[in-house]
Amino acid sequence: MTDANSVDTAWDGSAQPEYEQPEYDELHTEYGDTVIADTVVRKLAVLAAEAVPGVHALGSAAGRALHQITDRVGAQPPVGNGVSLRRSDHEVSIALDVVVEAGVPIPQVAETLRTSVAEAISYGTGLEVAGVDVAVSDLHLPEEPPRN
């Protein structure tokens, strides 16, 4: 039995430092590693953000226009429009670009977005969410009824 400061002796009698046990977590176990693509993280963020009341759409006007064009021609739309991320092995930071509905309290919508997106990513991936920044790029106005 050895303690943390002990040194093992090799078969030839020379001193060998004790093997350090690697640190394991949900993504790195003694049996192997789990790699989660950025696309998966973006999709989780999109699903969580779209479920927040008061969010009309994700992405800038240009990004939404591109999405509509690719949708019309049958091309694969970009994944995670309105979501960008920075990540390390265990941590991710998210930036959202959103359009909110007119009449909603924007600070409350932003806080709900932060909480919902962070919880969805943490639960779905095991990654620690360092932050969720929210940029409100537009306000969706209710459509006026046609005049007769």
Q: In this structure, are residues 114 and 53 in contact, taking their beta carbons and an 8 Å threshold?
A: no
Classify burial at 21, counting beta carbons within 10 Å of its beta carbon; exposed 0-12, middle 13-18, buried 19 or more. exposed
| E-strand stretches of the chain | 7-9, 15-17, 28-29, 32-33, 55-58, 83-87, 91-101, 128-140
22 token code pair: 């690697």
Instruction: Report the greatest alpha carbon distance in the chain.
Output: 99
The answer to whether residue 20 sits within a structural domain is no
40 token code pair: 């998966």
The answer to whether residue 10 sits within a structural domain is no
pLDDT per residue as tens, the chain (148 positions):
445 555 555 566 666 666 666 677 777 778 888 889 999 999 999 999 999 999 999 986 555 554 555 556 565 555 568 999 999 878 999 999 999 999 999 999 999 999 999 999 999 999 999 999 999 999 999 885 655 5
Name the domain count of the chain.
Answer: 1
The answer to whether residue 61 sits within a structural domain is yes
The answer to whether residue 21 sits within a structural domain is no
The answer to whether residue 90 sits within a structural domain is yes
The answer to whether residue 121 sits within a structural domain is yes
Alpha carbon distance 108, 114 (integer Å): 10
User: What CATH number corresponds to the domain at position 52?
Assistant: 3.30.70.1350
**Domain around 53:** 35-140
